[in-house]
């Protein structure tokens, strides 16, 4: 048996109004994933609630909880019992009036390894996240789990090559992206829908190729208010090939077997890491390069 052959699972599910119901469903799905042989299980973005960021309202602040806190306590017990790593995206209350969109990482012995706070916060129609979340201040992080070194980024972070690069440079073998992305339910053009979804996949498979890592995006499904989440959770190998993909609609546990020993092969045949001109990238920290 190859010790670097790791089965991962992405949980794609619909959510209801009651957070306790959503947590219970996630626990059930994690159990199912473990039965299916998964060693690392990633849940979708903000899995305990409906996607409340479609509007600006004060009531959803009541959903926020500390991390570690009640939800992570439940997941730590589950991880210990099943010997699985869990990536869980939650609405974090840091202090009174300060909130983050945060992913907790729990190791296979139930230990809490730490958290990543979403760095890029969108503010678009239907995605008014700046009203609820302040940008992360923990930087880009990796987590050394029993089954491998993983990086975690969240949804809008997907569109930024810098985030993927800085996480991969710390040794991540797999980049996990808990996600909540979809179309406006009123969008009827199949061409527009298809092009949006393809752009989403293209940017992430590009991260896989450029960094020689596996990329795993766990998206939610179902229609909530004015948004129709497009599902299609997927896993890409380091050559940008989609090795597993969930359906557009409906709930699913998506499995993928990731051979981490192949990362060295990919990077030696496409030596992008070797050939980086790090001496020439200083201007990347500028907002715009004015002439």
Is the pLDDT confidence value at 187 over 90? no
The model's pLDDT over 135-148, given as tens digits with 9 standing for 90+, comes to: 999 999 999 999 99
Is the pLDDT confidence value at 1 over 70? no
Closest CA to 47 of 234, 258, 251, 216: 251
Q: Which of 42, 53, 115, 118 is catalytic?
A: 118
**Mean of pLDDT values over 3-12:** 94
The span from the CA of 94 to the CA of 13, in Å, is 27
**Mean of pLDDT values over 211-220:** 98
pTM of the predicted model, to two decimals?
Answer: 0.97
Structural domains in the chain, CATH included, are 5-275 (3.60.110.10)
Residue written as tokens 């590009």?
206
Is the pLDDT confidence value at 188 over 90? no
Q: What average pLDDT does the structure give for the chain? A: 96
Which pLDDT does position 2 carry in this prediction? 76
String of DSSP letters for 247-267: -SSS-EEEEEEEETTHHHHHH
The span from the CA of 82 to the CA of 287, in Å, is 46
String of DSSP letters for the chain: --TTEEEEEEEE----S-HHHHHHHHHHHHHHHHHTT-SEEEPPTTTTS--GGGS--SGGGGG-B-SSSHHHHHHHHHHHHHT-EEEEEEEEEEETTEEEEEEEEE-TTS-EEEEEE-----EETTEEGGGT-PPP-S-S-EEEETTEEEEE--GGGGG-HHHHHHHHTTT-SEEEEEE--EEETT---HHHHHHHHHHHHHHHHHHHHHHT-EEEEEE-EEEETTEEEE---EEE-TTS-EEEE--SSS-EEEEEEEETTHHHHHHHHS-TTTT--GGG-GGGGSS----
The span from the CA of 254 to the CA of 249, in Å, is 13
Q: Which of 155, 201, 228, 252 is catalytic?
A: 155
Does 45 qualify as catalytic in the annotation?
A: yes
Which pLDDT does position 37 carry in this prediction? 98
Residue written as tokens 């500390």?
66
Q: Which of 15, 25, 42, 45 is catalytic?
A: 45
The model's pLDDT over 19-67, given as tens digits with 9 standing for 90+, comes to: 999 999 999 999 999 999 999 999 999 999 999 999 999 999 999 999 9
| Structure-block tokens of residue 9 | 């699972």
The model's pLDDT over 73-101, given as tens digits with 9 standing for 90+, comes to: 999 999 999 999 999 999 999 999 999 99
Which pLDDT does position 291 carry in this prediction? 83
Does 118 qualify as catalytic in the annotation?
A: yes
Which pLDDT does position 230 carry in this prediction? 95
Percent of the chain with pLDDT over 90: 97
């Amino acid at each position: 048996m190859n010790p670097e052959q790791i089965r991962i699972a992405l949980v794609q599910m619909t959510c209801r109004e009651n957070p306790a119901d959503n947590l219970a469903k996630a626990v059930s799905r994690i159990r199912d994933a473990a039965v299916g042989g998964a060693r690392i299980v990633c849940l979708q973005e903000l899995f305990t609630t409906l996607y409340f960021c479609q509007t600006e309202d004060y009531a959803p602040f009541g959903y926020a909880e500390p991390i570690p806190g009640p939800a992570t306590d439940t997941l730590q017990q589950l991880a210990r019992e099943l010997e699985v790593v869990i990536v869980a995206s939650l609405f974090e209350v840091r202090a009174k009036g300060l909130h983050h969109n945060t992913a907790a990482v729990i190791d296979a012995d139930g230990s809490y390894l730490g958290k990543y706070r979403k760095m890029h916060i969108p503010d678009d129609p239907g995605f008014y996240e700046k009203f609820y979340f302040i940008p992360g201040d923990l930087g880009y992080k990796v987590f050394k789990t029993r089954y491998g070194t993983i990086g975690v980024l969240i949804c809008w972070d997907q569109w930024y090559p810098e985030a993927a690069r800085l996480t991969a440079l710390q040794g991540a073998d797999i980049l996990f992206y808990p996600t909540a992305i979809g179309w406006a339910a009123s969008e009827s053009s199949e061409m527009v829908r298809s092009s949006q979804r393809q752009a989403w996949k293209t940017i992430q498979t590009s991260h896989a190729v450029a960094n020689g890592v596996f990329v795993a995006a766990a998206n939610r499904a179902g229609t909530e208010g004015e948004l129709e989440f497009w599902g299609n959770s997927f896993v890409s190998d380091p050559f940008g090939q989609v090795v597993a993909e969930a359906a557009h609609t409906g709930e699913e546990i998506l499995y993928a077997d990731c051979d981490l020993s192949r990362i060295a092969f990919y990077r030696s045949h496409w030596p992008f890491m070797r050939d980086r001109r790090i001496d020439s990238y200083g201007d990347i920290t500028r907002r715009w390069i004015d002439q």
